[in-house]
Amino acid sequence: MTIILAVLSLVLAGAMLMLGNTIYPVSDVIGVLMGEDVSGASFAVGTIRLPRMIAGVFAGFAFGVAGHVFQTMLRNPLANPNVIGITAGSSAAAVFSIIVLQASSTFVSVSSIIGGLVTVLVIFTLSRSTSFSIGRLILVGIGIQAMLNAVVSYLLLIGQENDIPTAMRWLTGSLNGATTEGLYPLIITVLIFSPIILALGRRLDMLELGEQAATSLGINTSQTRFLLVVSSVMIIALATAATGPIAFIAFLSGPIAKRLVGVGFSGTIPAGLVGIILVLASDLIGQFAFTARYPVGVITGIIGAPYLIYLLIRMNQKGDL
């Protein structure tokens, strides 16, 4: 199933390069990727579509993997970076940098990372008590997210008119305007921290069994959680910096991957591939399925919101809320 997901990801990536106002054949696309000067295609594919596709691939993978890590580690499908406020922290820091500081894209990326890390620290600190409670952590995270969303709304009200479109991208999630140079921090971060998460895959599966079971199996749970949280926040903060907080990708990727690969298999890579598929497919739908063009975050929001409502109803019926 992982191979099928990988092939589907490649097909969608190819479609991103071929489709547009002008449809280019595979031979022209391959020629551009090989560095050839193809009349018309070199600019459209190499300058516009290729960065957009790369942004979708790396951001989708980052959101998918990070969502899977948090859901597995905290043993709750609601415990993903979108719902518990981590991406809201990254977005608030980025919007503050754009509107108040009018900073460069590099500084925006750095502030996004810091915002995500600080948000994680605040959430885990406020949710601590005599014992660790996943439910308490989720509720604190939802409260922090609401507060940060209010901060973003205020910043948009006081922002200058020419800064608002850039800041709005952080609220909807979009692949528009992606440039190769601007994607280097995301690419490098994903290539550095994803192998760390993959190397900790077995320990992550142990954490899903519970704190006592993982400890009895010889897992240093505190160290493992620290490495997983830092690695996940790094890749998701850079993904947010590159594309904005694309709604529900981190929320949907893990459960979909788990259903596809089944139990007994690591879901980290499948979750990343599902994230890629959701982002690329949603972007293609947003571009070509309607008379108007919509950012990818609008389409993923339409897909993810009903699932969130369904999950909340099901968890309430089971007494998990």
Rounded Cα–Cα distance for residues 286 and 265 (Å): 33
**Per-residue pLDDT at 321:** 55
Torsion sign, CA atoms 239, 242, 248, 254: negative
**Per-residue pLDDT at 55:** 93
Residue 86 has pLDDT above 90, yes or no: no
Q: pLDDT band at 279, cuts 50/70/90?
A: very high
Higher pLDDT, 117 or 67: 67
Q: pLDDT tens, 98-131?
A: 888 887 777 887 888 888 888 888 888 887 766 6
Q: pLDDT band at 318, cuts 50/70/90?
A: low
Q: What's the chain look like in SS3?
A: CHHHHHHHHHHHHHHHHHCCCCCCCHHHHHHHHCCCCCCCHHHHHHHHHHHHHHHHHHHHHHHHHHHHHHHHHCCCCCCCCCCCCHHHHHHHHHHHHHHHHCCCHHHHHHHHHHHHHHHHHHHHHHCCCCCCCHHHHHHHHHHHHHHHHHHHHHHHHHCCCCCHHHHHHHHHCCCCCCCHHHHHHHHHHHHHHHHHHHHCHHHHHHHCCCHHHHHHCCCCHHHHHHHHHHHHHHHHHHHHHHHCCCCCHHHHHHHHHHHHHCCCCCCHHHHHHHHHHHHHHHHHHHHHCCCCCCCHHHHHHHHHHHHHHHHHHHHHHHCCC
**Who's near 10: CB < 8 A, 6+ residues apart?**
none
Per cent of the chain over pLDDT 70 is 94
**Per-residue pLDDT at 312:** 73
**Per-residue pLDDT at 319:** 57
Q: pLDDT band at 265, cuts 50/70/90?
A: low
Q: pLDDT tens, 202-255?
A: 888 888 777 777 777 777 877 888 888 889 888 988 888 888 888 889 888 888
Rounded Cα–Cα distance for residues 224 and 101 (Å): 36
Residue 154 has pLDDT above 60, yes or no: yes
Domains delineated in the chain: 2-318 (1.10.3470.10)
Q: pLDDT tens, 6-25?
A: 999 999 999 999 988 888 88
| Both tokens assigned to 188 | 């490098």
Residue 38 has pLDDT above 80, yes or no: no
Which stretch, 72-81, 115-124, 187-196, has highest mean pLDDT? 187-196
